[in-house]
Structure 1
Amino acid sequence: MKIALIYIAMIAFTGVSLISENSASASDEDQKAVQAATSQFYTALNELFTGEVEPMKKVWSHQDDITFMGPDGSFLHGWKPIAAEWEKTGSMKLGGKVEASEIHTTVGPKLAIVSNYEIGHNKGPDGKMLKVKIRATSTFRKENGKWKMIGHHTDLLPFLLN
């Protein structure tokens, strides 16, 4: 009886170890993919500041359940209004550059949340460069094997408020 219990415990421990190991590998892969998606977002954001909109459109999901709460106070739902916001932002040609810092990532099987600071500079209404340091949270969803942004929320930037 004792030997049977030890044998069952060993099988259970081995099974849990294998599941954990496979989950860690999948999680590591997804973690890297979410980091890459985050990097692509900030590359696209900086291209947007020059007027180039297409890279930003590639980063986002095109579904109706996505949201954007931007530094200008906008609160948008669905791909069409968000795509229109990117077109508007691109036309402003804010210039400058923003980078993510102090990045914290939580990745699950289908959703990921990334929280960080966005630090850099953009042109204000008077054309002068202004410092940017705001908090941001991005939400990604795995769609057809690729991590797509489904939400982005930032603090407000006073120089963008109407």
Structure 2
Amino acid sequence: MKLQLIKVAMIVFSAVSLNCNQSVSASEQDQQKVRTAAKQFYAALNKLFTGEVEPMNKVWSHQDDITFMGPDGSFLRGWKPIAAEWEKTASMKLGGKVEAKEMHITVGQELAIVSNYEIGHNVGPDGKTVKVKIRATSLFRKENGIWKMIGHHTDLLPFLSKSTSG
């Protein structure tokens, strides 16, 4: 009986070890793909500051369950209002550049979280350069094998902030 329990325990341990090793390598692959998707988001954001919206449209999921909580205090749900927000932001031509710093990535099988600082500068409504340093959290989902952004939440930027009553 004791020998049988030891054999069962060894089989279970071997199966768990094998499964863990497979998920680690898959996770490393997905970790790199999520890092690339996050970098593509920041490249698209910088293009948006020049008035180009198409790169931003490519990095986002176009589903109804996505969210955007931007630096102006907005809380948008679904692709249509988020796409409209990107159009509006592109038309502002904020100029400048923002980069992700101190990126921390957590990856699951279908969802990933990226937390970082967004550091750089934009041009304020008065035409003066405004420094930016805010915290941001981005959510990604694997859709048809591609990591797409499904959520982005940042601190407020006073020069963009609007009333958030309600």
TM-score by length of 2: 0.93
- Count of residues in Structure 1 that have an aligned counterpart in Structure 2: 162
Question: Where in structure 1 do 4 or more consecutive aligned residues deviate above 6 Å?
Answer: none
1:128 matched to 2:128 = yes
Name the aligned partner's letter for residue 133 of structure 1.
Answer: K
Cα drift, residue 2 of structure 1: 4.3
1:49 maps to which residue? 49
**Aligned counterparts, 1:66-85, within 5 A:** 66-85=66-85
Q: Which secondary structure state, in structure 2, belongs to the residue aligned with residue 7 of structure 1?
A: helix
Are residue 108 (structure 1) and residue 104 (structure 2) matched?
A: no
Question: Over residues 75-133 of structure 1, what are the superposed CA-to-partner deviations in whole Å (9 max), with x where a residue is unaligned?
Answer: 11110111011011011111110001111111111111111110000001111111000
Shift of 1:3: 3.8
Query: How far apart in 2 are the matches of 1:76 and 1:13?
Result: 46
Identity %: 77
Unmatched 5+ residue regions in structure 1?
none
1:7 and 1:73 map into 2 onto residues whose CA distance is 59
Distance 2:24 2:161 in 1: 44
Q: Which runs of 5+ in 2 are unaligned?
A: none
Q: Say which SS state the counterpart of residue 126 (structure 2) adopts.
A: coil
Secondary structure at 1:39 match in 2: helix
TM score, norm. by length of structure 1: 0.95
Deviation at 1:40, TM superposition (A): 0.5
In the alignment, what sits opposite 1:99?
99
CA RMSD of aligned residues (A): 1.2
